[in-house]
Structure 1
Amino acid sequence: MKNIHLIWGVIIPLGLLLSSSIRPTARQSSGAWMQLINGKDMSGWKASENKETWSVTPEGYLQAVGKRSHLFYEGEYLNGAFKNFEFEAQVRTFKLANSGIYFHTKYQESGWPGQGIEIQVNNSHIGEGDYIELKRMGSLYGVRNVYKTFAKDDEWITVKARVENDRVQIWVNEIKTVDYIQSERRMAGIKKLSSGTFCLQGHDPNSKMQYRSFKVRRLPDAASSNLAPLTYAPWQDTLLKYQGQQFAFIDLNPRTSLSPQDLAKYVYSTGINVALLKNPKTAKELSEAKKLPLFTGIKVNADNLANLKANTADYIIGESTGIESARTLLNSKKINVWSDKGQDLNTDQADELLDLAKQNNVAIEIDNVSKTPSLAVLRKAKAKGCKFTFAGLVPADKLSQSLYVVEAIRGAKLSYKDQYVPKW
């Protein structure tokens, strides 16, 4: 049984979920690569609404700077529509820029595309007005969201995707960020894979984006992942609902013995973002996450806090076992997240500790398994302006037994803006 993996009652071969190459097998291979950007003009592309947003730079790049406009491919290689395919795009984002690559879409003159699915192209966009954007480069927008940035602004980034009927895989600079298998049933708010053309997004006047290459080749219409469709558990439906309200489900304190590769499979299959977590002595092992879609964290306590070296992790989490260790950690200026294992937030010292967390910009962990802190404490922390993180979301059986994180969201009236996301 060591060559299979069980997800929500579906048996899936292990090797398929972690395949990191975009090259198809001989059986799947289809037509030659087609370059959709000619480096001279916008031939084959049709802009919507604010057409002046799009231009061609002297170097031959397609560039978006201006009001919302979408650039749809309608050139000679379309030949009706693209269904199964792989593409490779070279994109460059500039500070605060937001864009997207849509597939299975069709031309519309105004508004956000109503047909198709978007691959997020965004390293540093923070949102507009009251809206805060947390989703990052390589997300399958609203379906499999990625909250860690794996690329940098002002650099050319390679975005690859492969679509085979019921499966979508996405890579950002060779890191596979998404491996999604579509459910057989229709999910509220999630569009079904179909067929159509490609579209590049010009998002807003502050979003300067450039595309210098967009290569695509078709795969046979009969191409298939040969993987069983996902069977969604009731808890997954609930998380999808709240994901639609922009909540980022990230386990920054996974208490599991899963390998980095198995953690990555969990991210792919559930959409829950996960961290590889080590202590100060084993921090070098965080390098195992280098090519995986994982946050990296270091867990400390009051006793080993002094052993913390130069920080190369995405965040530091402090775990206390009593009031004095809680004070030490919260006052240390070294931690980003506080895990209250001593449950001192259930004592008379709760107000003092919450004030320390707020003063020192330390987020409070909500543990889905131990169901702590209590809703009363969370309401108090919310009123003080504290931030929050989640734990106890790995593995899936923990979510089958408890959805306290959702109770916390409802009971304390939390919003996605109350969440802490590392290095955001």
Structure 2
Amino acid sequence: MKNYSAIIGLIFLYLLSISCSKSKDGEWIDLFNGTDLTGWEANENPESFKVVDGAIYCDGPRAHLFYKGDYKNGVFKNFEFKTMVKTLPSSNSGVVFHTQEQPYGPLLRGYEVQIDNSYEREGDFQELKKTGSIYGVRNVYFPTHNDNEWFELSFKVVENHVEVFVNNRKVNDYVQPDDPWRIKNDKMKVFSRGLLALQCHDEGSKVYFKDIKIKVLPDGEKLTPPTSKEWDTKITQLHHANFPVIDFHVHLKGGLTIEQAIENSMKLGINYGIAPNCGLHFPVTNDESLFAYMDTVKAQPIFRGMQAEGREWVTLFSPEAIAKFDYVFTDAMTWTDRDGHRMRLWIPEEVFVKNEQDFMEQLVGKIENILSKEPVDIHVNPTYLPEVLAAKYDELWTDERIDRFVNVLAKNKVALEINSRLKLPSEKILKKAKEAGVKFTFGTNNTTSDLGTLDYSLEMMKKLGLTYKDMFMPKPNGSKPVQTKGLPDQITG
């Protein structure tokens, strides 16, 4: 009788354990006890991981810390994951999923969700991928958080789809097509099932993790990718090459909302810089309206740009307000000629051309004056000519004028936009700019809600052989032109 009762008791405990185990699915489960590394194993250099003040602290030689605890034995397919993270300056880390153990080196299987708020690697390679990137597949190039502050990093994986969030705001969304493009060594960097791992990137990359949780999800249906296989291949190749696919010249115009822009950005894999028009008779005209605008976009997953309109803009805003933007750009489409006409070159009725050659000399002189004196990062709508002269573009942009244009860009370290909507500048001018060491950006300057796919920019990138090293990236606080150059004493014309 005693043996029979014992057997019944064991069966009850077994069934209870199964029931408890099953009940965990769909619930948040702690993967880290906050005290020690129970359930976690390092593949190499275990000294790179320790528990400090209730958090897993990563600092030391490259290594990965795998979760191999009791829950599912650490093997997950569909799930939600979240953790609190804090990075110290110049630190790099990541969370890898659907991976497996290997003795050493970068993991060859699964996807990495990048953690990098300010990392600048020494040497020849500059890491551009920021926190929230699906590393080398769909990169985030804009900053999503600051160092020295705790933030929540989370992501949701269902079949062929992953969404990444920083503080509950989506920053990345990727649907993998069947048989996606991968280089030879990355063929296993696809959705499957596998382990989770925290990355210690290198000595000096100091990152903390705490409150590490997972929720197992049921199987779901595979999603149809939102773009063609051809586009997915093109954009993945660029992201793999660390190339910043960014449209820095987007406006909320033609019915385009910021929500639509963000959705389009994640669909196409193109990061956006969204800019208001700031200047006389434009939506943003002073510090008060500038700060009001910034309040609406400060937490959005975008770059925040400022389009400085007209030459009067330098008198309307304080340096402190201007420095709130990630970057500032301007063009030479609004200026006052020697006869006192304030022209806006895109409006035929406001263009005055008495003599074509004289007009061009004034235009190039204005460009030289603007780029020498105004504290801007990028020159946009470059080499634009008004409708009355546009047909003579190649004739009027002589070699001498091109040289003056390129020289002022290079001397003042102002980047040159390759504008896809206007198809400017010409290939000839772009080649000279590259030879002079000028940096480049991509831009659309949309007038409708259709942002396109940067076709001209990407065409010129290929023809010129541009790499990520040829591309402009916004400068850190303290190094922005308005902080190093200041505002001019007088209007530039």
Instruction: Provide the C-alpha distance between the structure 1 equivalents of 2:142 and 2:88, rounded to a whole number of angstroms.
Output: 17
Match of 2:452 among 393, 398, 412: 398
Residues 1:336 and 2:377 are matched in the alignment: yes
Residues 1:341 and 1:387: Cα distance change in structure 2 (over 3 Å): closer
Q: Which amino acid aligns with 1:159?
A: L
Kindly report which structure 2 residues correspond to 1:178-217, keeping only aligned pairs within 5 A, or say none: 178-189=172-183, 191-217=189-215
Mapped contact 1:302–1:329 kept (Cα < 8 A): no
- The Cα shift of 1:341 comes to 4.1
- The Cα shift of 1:329 comes to 2.5
- The Cα shift of 1:68 comes to 0.5
Q: Secondary structure at the match of 2:71?
A: coil
Kindly report which structure 2 residues correspond to 1:222-301, keeping only aligned pairs within 5 A, or say none: 222-224=219-221, 227-232=223-228, 234-254=230-250, 257=254, 258-280=256-278, 281-282=283-284, 283=290, 284-301=292-309
Match of 1:384 among 436, 441, 447: 436
Residues 1:302 and 2:310 are matched in the alignment: yes
Residues 1:408 and 2:405 are matched in the alignment: no
Residues 1:32 and 1:100: Cα distance change in structure 2 (over 3 Å): same
Mapped contact 1:260–1:288 kept (Cα < 8 A): no
RMSD (Å), alpha carbons: 2.4
Give the gaps of 5 or more residues in structure 1.
1-28
Map of 1:115 onto structure 2: 109
Mapped contact 2:152–2:167 kept (Cα < 8 A): yes
Residues 296-305 or 131-140, more deviating = 296-305
- The Cα shift of 1:104 comes to 0.9
Q: Secondary structure at the match of 2:267?
A: helix
Mapped contact 1:151–1:173 kept (Cα < 8 A): no
Residues 1:161 and 1:80: Cα distance change in structure 2 (over 3 Å): closer
Q: Secondary structure at the match of 1:230?
A: coil
Instruction: Provide the C-alpha distance between the structure 2 equivalents of 1:80 and 1:341, rounded to a whole number of angstroms.
Output: 54
Give the gaps of 5 or more residues in structure 2.
1-23, 285-289, 334-362, 386-392, 477-493
Q: Which amino acid aligns with 2:175?
A: I
Match of 1:323 among 347, 360, 364: 364
Map of 2:489 onto structure 1: none
Map of 1:42 onto structure 2: 37
Residues 1:110 and 1:233: Cα distance change in structure 2 (over 3 Å): closer
Map of 2:170 onto structure 1: 176
- The Cα shift of 1:407 comes to 2.9
Residues 335-344 or 46-55, more deviating = 335-344
Q: Which amino acid aligns with 2:443?
A: A
Instruction: Provide the C-alpha distance between the structure 2 equivalents of 1:308 and 1:166, rounded to a whole number of angstroms.
Output: 47
Instruction: Provide the C-alpha distance between the structure 2 equivalents of 1:393 and 1:270, rounded to a whole number of angstroms.
Output: 17
TM-score, normalised to structure 1, is 0.85
Kindly report which structure 2 residues correspond to 1:83-94, keeping only aligned pairs within 5 A, or say none: 83-94=77-88
Residues 1:33 and 2:85 are matched in the alignment: no
Residues 74-83 or 195-204, more deviating = 74-83
Residues 1:382 and 1:353: Cα distance change in structure 2 (over 3 Å): same
Mapped contact 1:78–1:197 kept (Cα < 8 A): no
Match of 1:368 among 407, 412, 420: 420
Residues 1:414 and 1:186: Cα distance change in structure 2 (over 3 Å): closer
Instruction: Provide the C-alpha distance between the structure 2 equivalents of 1:412 and 1:263, rounded to a whole number of angstroms.
Output: 29
Q: Which amino acid aligns with 2:295?
A: S
Residue deviations 1:316-375 (CA, integer Å, cap 9, x gap): 110113324422321234211101444489343222222222222211101123332222
Q: Which amino acid aligns with 1:289?
A: V
Kindly report which structure 2 residues correspond to 1:58-73, keeping only aligned pairs within 5 A, or say none: 59-73=53-67
Map of 2:346 onto structure 1: none
Instruction: Provide the C-alpha distance between the structure 1 equivalents of 2:173 and 2:239, rounded to a whole number of angstroms.
Output: 18
More strand by share: 1
Residue deviations 1:120-149 (CA, integer Å, cap 9, x gap): 001111124211100101111122211111
Mapped contact 1:105–1:115 kept (Cα < 8 A): yes
- The Cα shift of 1:118 comes to 0.4
Instruction: Provide the C-alpha distance between the structure 1 equivalents of 2:332 and 2:200, rounded to a whole number of angstroms.
Output: 47
Residues 1:389 and 1:213: Cα distance change in structure 2 (over 3 Å): same
TM-score, normalised to structure 2, is 0.74
Instruction: Provide the C-alpha distance between the structure 2 equivalents of 1:35 and 1:193, rounded to a whole number of angstroms.
Output: 23
Residues 386-395 or 148-157, more deviating = 386-395
Larger Rg: 2
Instruction: Provide the C-alpha distance between the structure 2 equivalents of 1:377 and 1:129, rounded to a whole number of angstroms.
Output: 31
Instruction: Provide the C-alpha distance between the structure 2 equivalents of 1:340 and 1:272, rounded to a whole number of angstroms.
Output: 20
Instruction: Provide the C-alpha distance between the structure 1 equivalents of 2:382 and 2:51, rounded to a whole number of angstroms.
Output: 57
Instruction: Provide the C-alpha distance between the structure 1 equivalents of 2:331 and 2:177, rounded to a whole number of angstroms.
Output: 38
- The Cα shift of 1:403 comes to 2.8
- The Cα shift of 1:295 comes to 1.0
- The Cα shift of 1:30 comes to 4.4
- The Cα shift of 1:396 comes to 6.9
- The Cα shift of 1:40 comes to 1.5
More helix by share: 2
- The Cα shift of 1:233 comes to 5.6
Q: Which amino acid aligns with 2:228?
A: Y
Instruction: Provide the C-alpha distance between the structure 2 equivalents of 1:162 and 1:243, rounded to a whole number of angstroms.
Output: 21
